[in-house]
Structure 1
């Protein structure tokens, strides 16, 4: 049975990728990273960032909402302290990068090497500069993508925001800028009110909603892009089990990312891989191409 995925110089042993921001190195003691298709290390910036004040995360009826603010120790720390540890695993390693300007993205991308690819974050919903504002504008999305691609020989994946008025247009702009793929999509913007203080729970007001509640919407974004743009799509949003993965693959995704599900079930990646194999055996499928079918809107 063949679970491998290959597109635009990106090769995965299976379609299961850990999304950025939901795990760190201690998680390698719980899940065998050697069995994963890939991992995306949490968003890093040119210099260390403290992130947003606490509280940073809270539960919602069907998921979580966070306002982390891309807290990280910077690209130099990643290269010296994190990457050597991740390289011990036989899996594709991607690093998510964030900047407050096109120049930031350009400079960070120059400093990253010896990984499987770069994921460009133009979609964080809870930062003051950059983030969603970059991901809503096709001209900016194009300019950032082009700047990153100019400064690296690595495959470039752009993580899109669902807040874009026309996500297909944004995906096309990323393709025109040289992107190898897009991730669809980041969290949805949301709000939580503290009824005692009568103020927003988060200092930055808006947070990013993830979890099962967003799956139908994110799935539709994947379908729209797959139908409208000749670019590989990595599906992300609300995936909790192998059936969700199958839906994304059938909708057009080449692979998927797992995020907030691991908060409730740290072993979810292993269970999903095992269940996909079981499903394929039962159906007599030889590879992932056998799963995918054309669907009409």
Structure 2
């Protein structure tokens, strides 16, 4: 990745001149656009844009670019951010007994596919549950939770997120429902993997629900966490065909593969600033 490669993401009410203003600003500040994607949501009248750029013949500090862009952002009422792509986001992983998503995330991180800094692995089960699984230097925290201790446990998780300067929390099959307060705290920066193709088969044992209905496709959904259970803005989904011969255990086995790849894609999109919230939905600029 070239030095000083930046990414700008924005959303605002749609009106003429947005693209021109953005490109003109970058050109006047010695920047060269490497990639640009945009979307005009006709239903809501909102405009979305993602631009990757780098210095052409003039090195400008990120802070100076951000300050200069503020006037344009104010003029178009933009919700925006501009960041250095070399700065890796800090990610906390929450997990319960099922560790297939956790193992997959750690593998993709170690191979460089997920460009992030793991800040902690948090589980409501003890370290022994994961056997010889190699966490490396990533701190492991056992924070058990019961109905009576849920508030204290979530306060501890929140404090840990603050202490480690965590940018993103990933629920890697963390089988605990976050409280409304915790969901609000993590708004827009907490991704969950739901082992079902939402909005169908919400709640517990979705594969068993699917089997009882005789479905021919099963899937998984990665979404941002909100106060409404399993109804947060969807980032990514995938499916796999099944047949009448498949048992609930077969669905669970096949579902694990879908969950891994869907969650990994959602994390990668978020880390690469490819996801922009659009009310109850998302705009995802895929690569």
- Pair in the same fold by TM > 0.5: no
Q: TM-score range by the shorter chain?
A: 0.3 to 0.5
Q: TM-score, normalised by structure 2?
A: 0.33
- Structure showing the higher strand proportion among its residues: 2
Find the structure with the greater CA-based Rg: 2
TM-score by length of structure 1 reads 0.33
